[in-house]
Structure 1
Amino acid sequence: MLLALTSAFTLSQAFRTVAAIMGPPLAQELALSNQQLGLWAAAFHFSFGIMQLVFGVTIDVFGVRRTILAAFPVAILGAVVSALAPGFQVLLLGQVLIGTGCSPAFLVCTVFIARHFGPERFTPTSGLIMSLSGLGVLLTATPLAAMIEISSWRWSFGVLALLGIAAWLAIFWRVRERSLGAHSVQAPIARPQLKQAFGGLLDLFRLPHTAGLVLYAAVAYAGFITLRGLWLGPVLIERHGLTLVQSGNVALLVTLGSMLSPAVFGRIDPGGERRVHWLIGFSLAAATLLMGMALTHSLWLDVALPIVYGLLSGYGLLQYGYVHGAYPAAARGRALSLFTMAMFLGISLMQWLSGLAATLAPAAGLDPLSAALATMSLMLVLGGLAFWKLPRAPGEPVQTPPTRQ
Structure 2
Amino acid sequence: MAGIAALAAAYVLSQFYRTSLAVLTPALTAELGATKAQLSAASGVWFVVFALMQFAVGVWLDRYGPKRTASLMLALCAGGGSVLLALAVAPWMVIAAMALIGMGCAPILMASVFIFAKTFSPARLAVLTSWLMAVGMMGNVLGTSPLAAAAEAFGWRNVMLGIGAATLLVAAAIRAFVRDPAVEHMSVGSAGLKGYLELLRLRALWPIFPLVALCTAAAAGIRGLWAGPFLADVYGAEALLIGNVTLFMAFAMVAGAFVYGPLDTIFGTRKWIAFGGAVMSVVGLVWLATFPQAGITPTTVAMVVVGLAGGSYGLLIAHGRAFFPAHLTGRGVTLLNFFSIGGTGVTQLLAGAVVTAATVPGEPAAAYQVLFASYAIAMTSAALVYLLSRDARPERASVRLAER
Whether TM exceeds 0.5 here: the answer is yes
CA apart distance, 1:173: 1.9
Between the two proteins, what is the percent identity of the paired residues? 26
Distance 1:394 1:22, change over 3 A: same
Spell out, residue by residue over 1:315-334, the C-alpha distance to the aligned partner (whole angstroms, 9 max, x if none).
23210210221212111211
Paired residue for 1:36? 38
Give the 3-state SS of the residue equivalent to 1:212 in structure 2: coil
Quote the residue 1:82 is aligned against: 85
Q: Tell me the amino acid that sits aligned with residue 382 of structure 2.
A: G
Q: Relative to 1, partners in 2 of residues 1:75 and 1:56: Cα closer, same or farther, differing over 3 Å?
A: same
Find the residue that maps to 2:179 and give its secondary structure. coil
Which residue number in structure 2 is paired with residue 331 of structure 1? 328
1:65 aligns with 2:60: no
Alpha-carbon separation, structure 2, partners of 1:194 and 1:240:
57
Distance in structure 1 (CA, Å) of the matches to 2:280 and 2:390: 21
Aligned-residue CA RMSD (Å): 2.3
**1:363-389 deviation digits (Å, cap 9, x = unpaired):** 597722222222222211121122224
User: Match for residue 54 of structure 2?
Assistant: 52
Structure 1, unaligned runs of 5 or more: 181-188, 398-405
- Name the counterpart of 2:402: none
Match of 1:126 in 2: 129
Provide the residue aligned with 1:309 in structure 2: 306
Whether the aligned pair in 1 keeps the contact of 2:202 and 2:323 (CA below 8 Å) is no
Cα distance in structure 2, aligned partners of 1:43 and 1:110: 24
Which residue of the partner structure matches residue 266 of structure 1?
A: 261
> Which amino acid letter does the alignment assign opposite residue 116 of structure 1?
T
Task: State the match for 2:294 in structure 1.
Answer: 298
CA distance in 1, matches of 2:46, 2:187: 30
Deviates more, 1:281-290 or 1:104-113: 281-290
| Offset of residue 27 of structure 1 | 2.2
Q: Give the drift of 1:168.
A: 0.8
Partner-residue secondary structure (3-state), 1:314: coil
Match in the other structure for 2:351: 354
Q: 1:166 aligns with which of 164, 169, 189?
A: 169
Q: 2:119 touches 2:181 (CA, 8 Å); kept in 1?
A: no
Q: Following the alignment from structure 2 to structure 1, what is the Cα–Cα distance between the partners of residues 310 and 318?
A: 16
- What is the deviation of 1:132? 0.9
Deviations 1:72-106 (A, max 9, x none): 12111011111111111121111110000100010
Could you tell me how far 1:393 is from its partner in structure 2? 6.5
**How far did 1:148 drift?**
2.1
2 CA distance for matches of 1:13 and 1:111? Answer: 19
Residue pairs, 1:2-401, within 5 angstroms: 2-73=4-75, 74-177=77-180, 179=182, 189-190=184-185, 196-270=191-265, 274-296=269-291, 297-299=293-295, 300-362=297-359, 367-389=366-388, 391-392=389-390
Q: Per the alignment, in what secondary structure is the counterpart of residue 326 of structure 1?
A: coil
User: How many angstroms does 1:314 deviate by?
Assistant: 2.1
- Report the Cα distance in structure 2 between the residues aligned to 1:46 and 1:197, rounded to whole angstroms: 21
| TM-score, normalised with respect to structure 2 | 0.90
For residues 161 and 8 of structure 2, what CA distance do their matches in structure 1 show?
21
SS of residue in 2 equivalent to 1:209: helix
**Quick one: structure 1 residues 228 and 111, their matched pair in 2 at CA, closer, same or farther if it must change by over 3 Å?**
same
Contact kept in structure 2, 1:254 and 1:306, CA below 8 Å: yes
Unmatched tracts of structure 2, length 5 or more:
396-404
What is the TM-score with the length of structure 1 in the denominator?
A: 0.90
Aligned amino acid, residue 381 of structure 1? T
CA gap 1:326/1:92 in 2 versus in 1, 3 angstroms? same
Instruction: Determine the C-alpha separation between the residues in 2 that align with 1:231 and 1:385.
Output: 26
Q: What's 1:402 paired with?
A: none
- Count of residue pairs the alignment pairs up: 388
